[in-house]
Amino acid sequence: MSSRNNVVLIGFMGVGKGSVAREIVKHSDYLAIDTDDLIESMQNRRIKKIFEEDGEEYFRDLEKKVSCWLSTSVKNTLISTGGGFYKQKNLKDIGIVVLLNSPFESIIKRIKKHPNSVRKLKKRPLLNDLKKAKKLYDERSPQYLKLADIVIEVTNKSAQDCAKELLKKIKKR
Ligand code: S3P
């Protein structure tokens, strides 16, 4: 277990990592960062563009760079991650791993009912084909669960309730 005191939010695309992170910031002293945002600002281009211009492998290398930096240089921070970031070998060195969990169908429903749903789907290259996305979900689900120190079931809960539950569970540790 890491002594860096970070909380690392993992989970599938669209499960609500960003929304929960924003609520945690409101209800605690945590500062939050997001691995996708770090990569976009590092590259000065959107994730979608990075995938289109340089491919997924290139993007995964950028995630690796970010994970090395997080594990050596970041403390006391809430870190929300892209859905594939869990593959980083040093994930557990970064901090307590918290999984936001929900069935695939509920995640898609959640995205579709968002006022910005078209943009939310478009900006995620791996969600373009829902059949492929479901396959990815089925592959990843057991791995997410295996890595998680804490699991928050988020289906039909508000981001605020999930954030409160998460803070309570972290305090108990
Ligand atoms: C990805 C998830 C995305 C982003 C990239 C790849 C994945 O982040 O990192 O499109 O492999 O699941 P979100 O989980 O924030 O959508």
Give CA–CA dist 108/121, Å, rounded. Answer: 9
173: in domain? no
| H runs (alpha helix) in 44-158 | 47-73, 91-94, 104-113, 117-122, 130-147
Structurally, the chain folds into a number of domains equal to 1
Give the tens place of pLDDT for each residue, 47-98. 999 999 999 999 999 999 999 999 999 999 999 999 999 999 999 999 999 9
Q: Is 84 in the pocket of ligand 1 (CB under 6 A)?
A: yes
Q: For residue 162, is pLDDT > 80?
A: yes
Could you list the residue range(s) of the whole structural domain that residue 89 is in? 7-165
Give the tens place of pLDDT for each residue, 91-102. 999 999 999 999
151: in domain? yes
Claim: this prediction has a pTM higher than 0.95: yes
Supply the pLDDT for residue 4.
81
Give the tens place of pLDDT for each residue, 13-22. 999 999 999 9
172: in domain? no
Q: Is 38 in the pocket of ligand 1 (CB under 6 A)?
A: no
Q: What is the CATH number of the domain that holds 151?
A: 3.40.50.300
